[in-house]
Chain A
Amino acid sequence: MFEHLDDPHPYAPAPGLRAAVHGQVRRRRRRRVAVASGVATVAALGVGSVAAVRGRLEPQKIDVGGLAEEAGGPDTPSTAPGDPVTILVVGLDGTEGVPQSGGRDPDRYYPDSMALVRLDPEAGEVRLLTLPRDLRVEVDGVEMRLNQTLPTGGPTRLIQALDQTLGTPVDHYVQIDYRGAQELVDVLGGTRIAVDRPVRDRWSGLALEPGCRMLDGATTVTLARSRFIEVQQDDGSWARDTRSTLGRDLRGAVAAAALLQAAGRIGVADLPDVVRTGLGWVTVDDGLDRDDLVRWARDGRDDRVVTFNLPTVDQVAEDGNMYLRLAADGVDPVIDAFTDGGSDPIAPVDHTGAPVAEATGLRPC
């Protein structure tokens, strides 16, 4: 179809190409080892640590369609130990039997926080990609917000939307409600979050002073869900974060990263309590078993956490509502870096977590 664009001269590898490739690989491997050592830890979500002791509780399991392993794809964790795995993690709005979103269908749960977590043992990284709830996606020809896919079509529709919009296959699904998240944080000993400037939310009562703060489960969840965050300025006045749900998504990413780090700090002696408390709160796809969780926990304890943020633009839709669209530029490098890791000397990508930290004034510590 595109043969008319071919090079008219027959192709032959340039002299020295092999040597150049091998040289680059050696340099990057050296750099990768230097970067990975001594950085923050993680254990495959809190869930990985939670499951690191055999026996007792099992997480609730549900049938989820659209997962990559159904098609025998490249990211099939059950058959390829050590290969990267992508997990869709969803924090639900409400707790079991107690939905909390006024005016919505009480029988439906809306995802309040969504993230893709990429476990990459070979790279020594756990990568976390925040998914904006207001991202406009198309599923089967119908446009909707990303957070509307779950209540209308379950995890399968959410996974389809991600595949079609971002091109990111999902291997496994993990879901937790807010009560569960709160309990999980507490049993992990809390999250540590660095605060650059005084932060408050008068509606929820949240107030954080600058410094490295240890937050309990309730405070961590409140921070992740806060809609009316204000940050104190140099002159003492308070400035409202006007980004609405996007700002909330970013703070959710900080809280999730801090939760991952907390999971990595869990000692063996504490694991029985963690197991008793934790597993009962999570729901996973029925292809996920305890051995996978144990392997992730074991392999991921010394990995560093890297966070990613999708570039988006505001858009007012025909119905007058505000949505987020993927920006025309900059999405692919983020997805590539999230999926494959490594640096990109041709199109440098800041995947150090700095964008989220700069945008919120918060970071795990």
Chain B
Amino acid sequence: MDRFGDAFDDLSAVAHRVAYRLLGDRSEAEEVTQEALVRVYLRWRRVGPYAEAWTARVAANLALDHHRRRSRQRRHAETVAPTTATDVADPAAGLVSRLELAEGLRRLPRRQREVVTLRYLADVSEAETARLLGCSPGTVKQHAHRGLAALRLDLTPPDDALPVTAPQEETDVRAPR
């Protein structure tokens, strides 16, 4: 209880960052943040040692669910909602929009999606990501490499610039255990 209380502000900031990056809507991001924190608190004894990574993963999954429902509602209404003012997309500058990112993440295999989300959306360290997912840092690197490559392929229009660029260190792929 006390430790959760101490970590509350940091965890809420992590959840909000991940949710906002995917949703671009402050109200929806707050809704996701609250739900993620409730789940963390309910499982604090187990997830406390890696609470930041766990919170980020839950927030990302909840935000992607939001996206899915939005897409469904749009299809249902047979209208295309305009992108929000904060839904930045600038292919020339190598920037990807929220919609593109969410759709691309959803198409990734689950493990790759989790690694990409934790490492690049939530800025969780490689070691912490490995601890949460119960795998080695080498496996995290491998999933990150493959996930980013798949995202890059998915998001890149023909003959266009790459919207997502992997940091150099992520190309150092080791064999799985």
Contact = CB atoms under 8 A, between A and B. Distances in A.
Contact of A167 (B12, B62, B110, B130): B110
A71 B132 contact: no
Contacts, number: 136
Contacts of B173: none
At the interface, is chain B mostly helix, strand, loop or mixed? Answer: helix
Contacts of B101: 2, 5
A71 B136 contact: yes
B26 interface: yes
Interface in B14-59: 16-17, 20-22, 24, 26, 29-35, 37-39, 41-43, 45-47, 49-50, 58
Contacts of A17: 12, 30, 33-34, 37
Nearest to A75: B134
Interface string A15-58: 00110111011001100000000000000000000000000000
Interface string B91-128: 00001101001000010011101100000110000000
A240 to B, nearest CB: 34
Contacts of A28: 38, 42
B37 A21 contact: yes
A233 interface: no
A70 B68 CA distance: 35
Interface of A: 1-2, 4-9, 11, 13-14, 17-18, 20-22, 24-25, 28-29, 65-66, 68-75, 83-84, 122, 138, 140, 160, 163-167, 169, 328-329, 331-333, 335-336, 340, 342, 345-347
28 contacts: A1-B120, A1-B164, A2-B120, A5-B86, A7-B17, A7-B29, A8-B86, A11-B17, A13-B8, A17-B30, A21-B8, A21-B38, A21-B41, A22-B41, A24-B38, A25-B38, A29-B42, A71-B135, A74-B46, A74-B50, A83-B46, A122-B45, A160-B176, A165-B111, A169-B134, A340-B39, A346-B31, A347-B69
A-B pairs, top 3 by smallest CB distance, nearest first, are: A73-B134, A167-B110, A68-B134
